[in-house]
Amino acid sequence: MKDEKKKPPDIRERAFRYALRSIKLYKSIQEGKDSAGWILSRQYLRSATSIGANIEEAQSGESRADFLHKYGIAQKEAKESLYWLRLMVASGIVPRARLEPLMRETDELIAVITAIIVNTKKAIRGAQRDAKTEQQ
- Is the CATH number 1.20.1440.60 carried by domain 11-135? yes
Mean pLDDT of the chain: 91
CA–centroid distance for 106 within its chain: 6
> pTM, whole model, 2 decimals?
0.87
| CA separation, residue 118 to residues 60, 64, 70, 92 (Å) | 19, 12, 14, 36
Beta strands in 6-119 (DSSP E): none
Helix, strand, coil distribution of the chain in percent, nearest 5: 80, 0, 20
Model confidence over 68-124: pLDDT tens digits? 999 999 999 999 999 999 999 999 999 999 999 999 999 999 999 999 999 999 988
Domain ranges of the chain: 11-135
